[in-house]
């Protein structure tokens, strides 16, 4: 796709996402320079909730999912489930969904197509649909534009279970003429999505599945908890090995989703960058330990309380850090974008090595336009003691601060980069016009309501 077409598609995606959650406009005008202060709720994790919704397809009875965030990705997955015959009651607005898979059926490919491009989740429908219907069709996948985001690990894993994969111009057609059988699978990289693919397929495959080099993110552990409630037998062995004993039947679950640690880390970064004080109700310490260490090293402070975590700028100077993004328990790739805004305010030079995606610093262009001093090294930086062995994908951003940010006209490029733009606009002196904010609602529930609660000065463009 050429750049003009990509930009047009981005605007369209942003508008669709904004419409899903009833956002008044896709552009907001922000008057920055005020600290964000107050208390906000953090609901269930996008990266668990959407997968738990897919897991409901595997049960014979209704599932109940609680603490669901009102984000556009949840609306897209709900629609995808509905066109496959799942009846959904409750709503993301109320925070509870009841998913009834009694009448699962093959969807019209035109209906799936209409949703194509707006979410990466359809690939995870493969295992459950193959078990239920013996057939799955997956449209072109969307998601954030942060790299190539191939699905080879997913397709290889499905083939190991005995699935037959046929690539068509409109998507991927998958069948299981001889059923799905347990397999020995070793992932080339501990991919979150591919681990979920193996879990959602292995639980009802015949026999035992051994998955090596699995992802062990807290959201994966919570998905395993969901599947165990449904009747699955899954054990977590040392050294990233997961064993799944296939069972014939699964029932529905009742589950309260794990909180969204990406959302909590984003608001924490906003507190630091704007010299504010934000209490995230629902945030928990254990899943955020790596983030909390970095937050403290930079000069932020936090209080872990019974009902959440208070993140604040305690006064004094912020200090630079060196970070490498990594799989869990390392520093998440989704945390670097909002934190980089805070690093523009630290005294000295910080370095962020991105090792998970090959194109996740595009958002820094807008920060530079706003006055930040950030240099992106597209082929990474050599040297120094590194925690993560160098991956071919690696890139680095070098941030020198402190710099005064000023308002600008900026376009949100993707979900996390978009939140980073929002924080930059709130930190900057003067007025910013931030467009495509619909993309932020893919993963941040009621972010404009929360901004109001935190005292941000902004309005929707008419
Ligand atoms: N990869 C492959 N082939 C595959 C799958 C992945 O090469 O078949 C590569 C990717 O290109 C990437 C790396 O492996 O370089 C890691 O990808 P992974 O599969 O772990 O990521 P994902 O499942 O696509 C989820 C989250 C991301 C989050 C990553 C890492 C969801 C819907 N998305 O993506 O979240 O960054 O794990 O933790 O769960 C976000 O929330 O903004 C977001 C992008």
Is the beta carbon of 159 within 6 A of some atom in ligand 1?
no
Q: What is the pLDDT of residue 126?
A: 95
Is the beta carbon of 333 within 6 A of some atom in ligand 1?
yes
Transcribe 417-441 into DSSP letters: HHHHHHHHHHHSBSEEEEE-GGGGG
Q: What is the pLDDT of residue 306?
A: 98
Atom 14 of ligand 1, nearest CA residue: 191
Q: What is the pLDDT of residue 142?
A: 54
CA dihedral (269, 274, 278, 283) in degrees, to 10, reads -10
Q: What is the pLDDT of residue 184?
A: 98
Of 447, 416, 422, nearest in space to 147 by CA: 416
Q: What is the pLDDT of residue 6?
A: 76
**Distance from the CA of 139 to the center of ligand 1, in angstroms?**
18
Q: What is the pLDDT of residue 392?
A: 74
**Degrees, nearest 5: CA angle 323-324-329:** 105
Q: What is the pLDDT of residue 209?
A: 98
Identify which of 45, 46, 47 to mutate to test ligand 1's pocket (most ligand atoms within 8 A of the CB): 47
CA dihedral (374, 376, 377, 381) in degrees, to 10, reads 50
Atom 5 of ligand 1, nearest CA residue: 151
Is the beta carbon of 188 within 6 A of some atom in ligand 1?
no
What pTM was estimated for this model as a whole? 0.96
Is the beta carbon of 47 within 6 A of some atom in ligand 1?
yes
Q: What is the pLDDT of residue 146?
A: 54
Coil/strand/helix, residue 311? strand
**Distance from the CA of 103 to the center of ligand 1, in angstroms?**
31
From the CA of 152, give the closest atom in ligand 1.
8
Q: What is the pLDDT of residue 147?
A: 59
User: Which residues are designated catalytic?
Assistant: 144
Q: What is the pLDDT of residue 144?
A: 54
Collect the ranges in the chain with pLDDT lower than 70. Answer: 1-2, 116-119, 140-149, 383-385, 387-390
């Amino acid at each position: 796709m050429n750049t003009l077409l990509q930009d047009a598609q981005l605007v369209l995606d942003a508008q669709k996402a904004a419409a899903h959650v009833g956002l008044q406009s896709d552009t907001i005008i922000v008057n920055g320079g005020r600290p964000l202060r107050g208390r906000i709720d953090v609901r269930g994790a996008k990266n668990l909730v959407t997968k738990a919704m897919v897991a409901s397809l595997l049960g014979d009875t209704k599932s109940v999912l609680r603490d669901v965030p009102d984000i556009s990705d949840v609306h897209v997955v709900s629609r995808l489930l509905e066109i496959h015959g799942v009846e959904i009651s409750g709503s993301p607005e109320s925070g509870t969904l009841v998913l009834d898979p009694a009448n699962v059926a093959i969807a019209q490919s035109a209906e799936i197509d209409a949703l194509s491009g707006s979410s990466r989740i359809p690939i995870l429908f493969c295992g459950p649909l193959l078990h239920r219907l013996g057939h799955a069709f997956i449209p072109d996948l969307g998601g954030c534009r942060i790299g190539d985001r191939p699905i080879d690990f997913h397709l290889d894993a499905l083939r190991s279970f005995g699935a037959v994969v046929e690539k068509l111009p409109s998507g991927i057609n998958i069948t299981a003429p001889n059923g799905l059988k347990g397999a020995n699978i070793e992932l080339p990289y501990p991919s979150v999505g591919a681990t979920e693919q193996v879990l959602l397929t292995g639980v009802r495959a015949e026999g035992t599945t051994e998955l090596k080099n699995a992802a062990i993110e807290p959201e994966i552990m919570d998905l395993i908890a969901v599947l165990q409630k449904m009747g699955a037998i899954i054990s977590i062995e040392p050294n990233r090995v997961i064993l799944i004993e296939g069972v014939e039947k699964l029932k529905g679950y009742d589950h309260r989703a794990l909180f969204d640690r990406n959302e909590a880390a984003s608001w924490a970064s906003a507190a630091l960058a704007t010299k504010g004080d934000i209490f995230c109700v629902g945030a928990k310490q254990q899943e955020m330990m790596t983030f909390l260490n970095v937050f403290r090293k930079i000069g932020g402070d936090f209080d872990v309380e019974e009902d959440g975590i208070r993140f604040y700028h305690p006064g004094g100077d912020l200090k630079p850090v060196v970070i490498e993004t990594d799989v869990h328990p390392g520093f998440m790739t989704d945390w670097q974008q909002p934190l980089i805004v805070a690093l523009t305010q630290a005294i000295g030079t910080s370095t962020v090595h991105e090792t998970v995606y090959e194109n996740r610093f595009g958002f820094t262009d807008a920060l530079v336009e706003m006055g930040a001093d950030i240099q992106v090294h597209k082929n990474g930086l050599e040297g120094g003691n590194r925690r993560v062995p160098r991956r071919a994908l690696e890139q680095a951003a070098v941030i020198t601060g402190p710099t005064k940010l000023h308002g600008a006209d900026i376009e949100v490029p993707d979900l996390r980069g978009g939140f980073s733009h929002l924080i930059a606009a709130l930190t900057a002196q003067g007025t910013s016009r931030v467009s495509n904010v619909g993309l932020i609602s893919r993963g941040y529930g009621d972010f404009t309501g929360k901004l109001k609660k935190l005292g941000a000065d902004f309005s929707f463009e008419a």
